Structure 1
Amino acid sequence: MQPQTSPQSEEKERVSLIHSYSNAFKGFSAMLTEEKAALLSGEDGVVSVFRDQNLQLHTTRSWDFIESELGLGSLKFHQRFPKDVIIGLVDTGIWPESPSFADAGMGEIPSRWKGVCMEGIDFKKSDCNKDDVGHGTHTASTAAGAMVLNASYYGLAHGAAKGGSPSSRLAMYKACSIGGCAGSAVLKAIDDAVSDGVDIISISIGMSSMFQSDFLSDPIAIGAFHANQKGVLVVCSGGNDGPDPYTVINAAPWILTVAASSIDRSFQSSIVLGNGNVIKGIGINFSNLTHSASYPLVFGGHAAAQGTPASEARKTKGKIIVCVDNDPTVTRKIKKLVAQDAQTKGLILIDEVEKEWLLILAVILSQKNPVATILPTVDVNGYKPAPIVAYFSSRGPGGLTEGILKPDVMAPGVSILAAAIPSNEIGAVPDGKKPSNFGIKSGTSMACPHVTATAWSNIGKPLTNSSGANANLHDTGAGEISPMKALRPGLVYETTTEDYLYFLCYYGYKEQVISAMAGTKFSCPKNSSPELITNLNYPSISVARIDGTKNTVSVTRTVTNVGPGNSTYSVTVEAPSGFIVRVSPEKLAFSKRWMKASYQVSFDVKGASKGYGFGSLTWSDGAHIVRSGFAVNVL
């Protein structure tokens, strides 16, 4: 029986509804009391009830670099991608006036497209998904921006700017603002995108690695699952909380999770110290400081020691301030604004992992009147080594499960030139210059759309991290994207919705909840346990724990031949010291295309050291190379 309600209470209930989800899945977001939320969570057919969360933004030579790694010209590379693929982006909106979004030469909008600009009381069609932050404009043009000749950021990174798939269509879903992204709005955007007819969804946002929700309380994971059910791949940034382990987010197995790497271009801004030492730093500086070391140099901690604003101003005015960049809760932009307000001549942010900062500190501590200057930024192309894992890129293993290897792949995410909102902010435009149509940003946000526009495989050589040490699979996933190789992979690992439902069983969810998630009755296998997650037919292998004294663990994978028929693949194994890795069978023979074959991998680690060991197995028929990395944790 429905309770009787007055018109006033009906209106109150109506207003409490924020979003309804009815396309890819059924659900809603609303203003509820704790009591109502608790009652609702116990209802049959309810997957989860959770608080709305504020997700954060994971804030072009990059494509040229990818192409040069392949030995390909730009024209050949871009001609291989199909026209009229519809890329859906969930972000801050888009700046359609940018030359990167010129649609000259594009045909009619595909008939399968069903999306429209929705209007509201305070939202006119003329403002439809207009970007007022810049993040969405940057990511959208990275994925599918048109070719723009003579692009640069005030002379830096000069060249032709283009997206990875310029012939693709862009559908922007504005779910974010400068303050972040409401999880309920992100979920609504994914639901609408699937209904509108997008082919792929790119999401460069996520929650903090410190506050990860389980898979069925994470709006991105829930939305991506249902998008996957409808055949729409969701690509997400892995987060910027590196280099610590267990920081990767958006790590559900049905999400393609992206790490960030460098490219072979650096924006070098050197510091000249009073003792003649020159320290090569990374930054963008358009100031007119003299080239000789003549500006007083002071450590930020010393300047603040006096304790009053007036004394701090006297300590910093006209000087170059040195600060240690060790507080992730305060953005670099805020630090810059504080320095400008203190009337400083310059700001040097020190990364504690770089040894050069000790040279600067030594000058400040040893000299009575230390001085320095900061030279104008110069482009350095052909910078080596490249690619390397970006220092900030979040690392695996995943905090929710170590049975899936995350991140999945790596793509350029450092100093990426792409479309921007022309800014007139004080300090944003060099003297005598007009606001730029392009900007330079770094983050896994920038790496994500590189993958959205392409696919992946490994470039076939060791990758390093920012400290110079060899990177492992928890840093890079399968490795740097290689778009052309991904067009002819030879073998693929197919993972179905049913596989993901089994994953939820192994993870520990109840059948009733999984059935509600699937939209149909589903039964879990008997004896489901987290150890079985490693048998999900994933392209990589991760064994969360294995007893080094007695156990051998076996894992099964199935591949599908998408190359020529009558192909035979042989396997080679790269294993860390102390590991005995066996693959059975050692050859896979295919008589036709789309034929499937399975193999088993066993790991004997009796002679291995404790902790994670990393290796790979590679299948090849002479024309195709299919590499799968593995990570095995020895207890």
Structure 2
Amino acid sequence: MAAITWLLLYLVASSAAAGAAGRGDGASQVYVVYMGSVPPRTSTSLLQESHLRLVGTVLKRGRRADSVVVRQYKHGFSGFAARLSKDEAAALRRRPGVVSVFADPVYQLHTTRSWDFLQQTAVKIDAAARGPRNKTAADDGSPSSPAADTIIGLLDSGIWPESPSFNDAGFGPVPSRWKGVCMTGDDFNSSNCNKKLIGARYYDMGDVRGPSQSGGGSPRDDVGHGTHTSSTAAGNAITGASYYGLAPGTAKGGSAASRVAMYRVCSETGCSGSAILAGFDDAVADGVDVISVSLGASPYFRPDFTSDPIAIGSFHAVAKGVTVVCSAGNSGPAAATVVNAAPWILTVAATTIDRDFESDVVLGGNYSAVKGGAINFSNLDKSPKYPLITGAAAKSSSVSDADSASHCEPGTLDSGKIQGKIVLCNHSEGDTSKPVKADELNSAGAVGCIFVNDVEWAVATTYLDFPVTEVTSAAAAAIHKYIASAASQPVATITPTGTVTEYKPAPVVAYFSSRGPSSQTGNVLKPDVAAPGVNILASWIPTTSLPAGQKQASQFKLVSGTSMACPHVAGAAATVKAWKPTWSPAAIRSAIMTTATQLNNNHTPTTTDSGSPATPYDHGAGQVHPTGALDPGLVYEAGEDDYLHFLCNYGYNASTIKLIAASLPGGFSCAANASTSLISDLNYPSIAVSGLGKAGSRTVTRAVTNVGAQEEATYTVAVSAPAGLDVNVTPRKLEFTKGVKRLAFQVSFSAGRNDDAAAKKGALSGSITWSDGKHMVRSPFVVTS
């Protein structure tokens, strides 16, 4: 969406089109050939040789297979990337053993108070909603905690190893199971890794794009995104952190004791699909526990599961016991924009925290202040002495479009009318980005700018020295009234930004956070959970863009995006893995989802940025509760077999699925009645049912496993259902014993007897909650007609 392309200057917005790889000689381009799981008892060398033999069968005489293959996948799954013609790619699609062949796509990056806020809010909600709970173990951030043996791998833009977030003081030896490497590259060598940053790999984009498209031959981050996400997930606790004095405090990762491994799959131009697959393949072989992926396709480029590098790589990672956490995308608030929606992925939406960055407009006359927000280091006088003008009033005589002038679109204003003045500009979705407008106003001689913006108000844009703030249209009404009533020239000033903490309400679902339902998996509820993703303070790379008077670049930066939310959950997942090392990725996801919170710091239901109640399509099960996930009581288990039957119901045939999972028994088959409606029966911690209006009713099955300290436990169910929907759970009581740890139940949905019309209004949401008096195991549901 055009209004947020400014959001992360280096973190290209997720609405950018994901295109095919750049072509080499005009006749060929890079294709990915996906061949499913590595066949049992197949050596790496034999597998690589088979790849070369296969591609050799489609090449013209004189072309060598090893000259066209640019990457090979041989650990978590089988396949390769090769520079092929369209005809050669088509021929490979017809070869036995090939699942899919697709043009190498380019995905985009989805671009500390947040952890304190998560814990404080969750504790207060627990006390209000549940009463006291037994204290659970948590990652205390020390290198001696159990999390020191967990490894978080990140597929991102690289890492800045000199950041204090990755210092290894106090860390013990690297876990012996670690098989990764620290690759040497441009301005990066093996000494840049240590006992905290234990591995770093890179995949040069020049390998597949040609020299002109090289992404840099080094794991070193020249974008900033990977450094920010990795420090958010697992950075050391750094006291005295701030962004030039703003957001002061301690910056820390969610699992500060975990080790970090970086897989650089992105550059400033994007993230190659073939590199993403290589990152997954290596991360699984290296021995990571959690993979954090803050990137994805555009919601308008919807690859199938067998041609989506993230879906492919994450499937095989999860099959080998690695939890994969992905960002939901930055294309909200439009519906059906969520990406990374495969059911084996833990998909994360973005919310605000209780911190605001206030920069006010002080008006002349009675010196009244109008509240605004942005990040600027204004050096304007505190007294309102600067002439104030609207964009409409400053319209150039050569421009006929008064509306464009009121929005201060480039080229629409008379520079003579704005010199030395503060300019009031409207701003709407689809406009030129605010930083571009601000730069033009600054160049034309304006001394400041006020943007009227109702959509993006919760995300503080950084303007550095040029005094800019943003106000809502309601607040702007006071400014317009003052301008109209001023007896002489209206004047104003803009105050430098100040940090406001304990801001309410929080969390709020960020406007840019992509929303469900998934266009691919309507019967799997996505996103799964939400986490802080607005104005997150974390480590950054050195920059030359400094505020006036600053001689040294800040080691931290405030950045927004679901990219920032994703590593919060990755850190939480690593903490759960540290304390529950035998838990599967599905159990970890379940624990995070069923313990999520739905209340804000006003103890009222979480809302969206527009003020409407947040639904599961907005924030999934709710805001992550990191320590609560350590003691969920019950979990919804699912494994590779469950996901394969999901693929059956999705529409794949058994022969394709057998290639995807080579370890399947020979007798595997899809059910005769396989259909998309049966996807709702996947043993997921949430429930999504579509087409209720046609069927009239639908019953789904779930099973939960007791992981609580008490082997003998009785759980009873509570249902929260909207008007127009009857929801019945059978049985209403689950009794676990030493010999019975897993029990199934059914949930029936039907239109209310006297309110059929209500059931046809669209998405109806609610929840079912199992409780034993100590644990509350909540599962959201959404039912559509």
Sort the TM-score into its range (normalised by shorter chain): over 0.9
Among the aligned pairs, what percent are the same residue?
Answer: 50
User: Which is further off, 453-462 or 625-634?
Assistant: 453-462
Q: Which residue of 1 aligns with 2:569?
A: 451
1:552 and 1:400 mapped to 2: Cα distance? 23
Question: CA contact under 8 A between 2:136 and 2:627: conserved in structure 1?
Answer: no
Summarize deviations over 1:311-350 as a string: whole Å, max 9, x none: 7544544333444444569655544444444443234343
Output aligned runs, 1:188-267, within 5 Å: 188-267=278-357
Q: Measured at CA, do residues 370 and 205 of structure 1 come closer, stay the same or move farther in structure 2, by a change above 3 Å? A: farther
Q: Which residue of 2 aligns with 1:39?
A: 91
1:26 and 1:165 mapped to 2: Cα distance? 32
Output aligned runs, 1:165-204, within 5 Å: 165-204=255-294
How much has 1:69 moved relative to structure 2?
1.9
Question: CA contact under 8 A between 1:148 and 1:161: conserved in structure 2?
Answer: yes
Q: Which residue of 2 aligns with 1:78?
A: 140
How much has 1:392 moved relative to structure 2?
1.2
SS at match of 1:211: coil
2:768 and 2:356 mapped to 1: Cα distance? 34
Q: Does 1:423 align with 2:543?
A: yes
Q: Does 1:105 align with 2:166?
A: no
Question: CA contact under 8 A between 2:330 and 2:514: conserved in structure 1?
Answer: yes
Question: CA contact under 8 A between 1:324 and 1:352: conserved in structure 2?
Answer: no
2:651 to 489, 508, 527: 508
Question: CA contact under 8 A between 1:245 and 1:395: conserved in structure 2?
Answer: yes
How much has 1:268 moved relative to structure 2?
1.0
User: Which is further off, 401-410 or 72-81?
Assistant: 72-81
Q: Does 1:523 align with 2:675?
A: no
How much has 1:599 moved relative to structure 2?
0.1
SS at match of 1:82: helix
Question: CA contact under 8 A between 2:713 and 2:772: conserved in structure 1?
Answer: yes
AA aligned to 1:622 is G
AA aligned to 1:9 is R
Q: Which residue of 1 aligns with 2:385?
A: 294
How much has 1:363 moved relative to structure 2?
5.4
Q: Which residue of 1 aligns with 2:782?
A: 631
Where structure 1 has 5 or more consecutive residues not aligned to the other structure, the ranges are: none
How much has 1:366 moved relative to structure 2?
4.3
Where structure 2 has 5 or more consecutive residues not aligned to the other structure, the ranges are: 1-52, 125-134, 193-216, 400-409, 456-471, 574-591, 600-604
AA aligned to 2:95 is E
How much has 1:151 moved relative to structure 2?
1.1
Q: Measured at CA, do residues 335 and 8 of structure 1 come closer, stay the same or move farther in structure 2, by a change above 3 Å? A: farther
User: Which is further off, 334-343 or 239-248?
Assistant: 334-343
2:375 to 284, 287, 303: 284
1:448 and 1:375 mapped to 2: Cα distance? 33
Summarize deviations over 1:229-268 as a string: whole Å, max 9, x none: 1111110010111111101111110110001111111111
Q: Measured at CA, do residues 25 and 335 of structure 1 come closer, stay the same or move farther in structure 2, by a change above 3 Å? A: farther
Q: Measured at CA, do residues 324 and 249 of structure 1 come closer, stay the same or move farther in structure 2, by a change above 3 Å? A: farther
How much has 1:297 moved relative to structure 2?
3.9
User: Which is further off, 317-326 or 568-577?
Assistant: 317-326
- Report the TM-score, using the length of structure 1 for normalisation: 0.92
Output aligned runs, 1:305-316, within 5 Å: 305=396, 306=398, 312-316=414-418
When the two chains are superposed, the root-mean-square deviation of aligned CA atoms in Å is 2.8
Q: Does 1:89 align with 2:154?
A: yes
User: Which is further off, 50-59 or 342-351?
Assistant: 342-351
User: Which is further off, 296-305 or 169-178?
Assistant: 296-305
User: Which is further off, 366-375 or 622-631?
Assistant: 366-375
Q: Which residue of 1 aligns with 2:520?
A: 400
Q: Measured at CA, do residues 301 and 395 of structure 1 come closer, stay the same or move farther in structure 2, by a change above 3 Å? A: farther
Summarize deviations over 1:108-166 as a string: whole Å, max 9, x none: 11111111133479986677411111111111111111111111111111111111111
How much has 1:206 moved relative to structure 2?
0.9
Q: Does 1:413 align with 2:551?
A: no
Output aligned runs, 1:250-399, within 5 Å: 250-274=340-364, 278-299=369-390, 305=396, 306=398, 312-327=414-429, 332-353=434-455, 354-356=472-474, 358-359=476-477, 362=480, 366=484, 370-399=490-519
2:238 and 2:272 mapped to 1: Cα distance? 34
User: Which is further off, 117-126 or 349-358?
Assistant: 117-126
- Report the TM-score, using the length of structure 2 for normalisation: 0.75
Tell me the number of residue pairs that the alignment of Structure 1 and Structure 2 aligns.
Answer: 629
2:74 and 2:393 mapped to 1: Cα distance? 58
Output aligned runs, 1:614-629, within 5 Å: 614-629=765-780
Question: CA contact under 8 A between 2:255 and 2:571: conserved in structure 1?
Answer: yes
Question: CA contact under 8 A between 1:98 and 1:437: conserved in structure 2?
Answer: yes
Question: CA contact under 8 A between 2:598 and 2:621: conserved in structure 1?
Answer: no
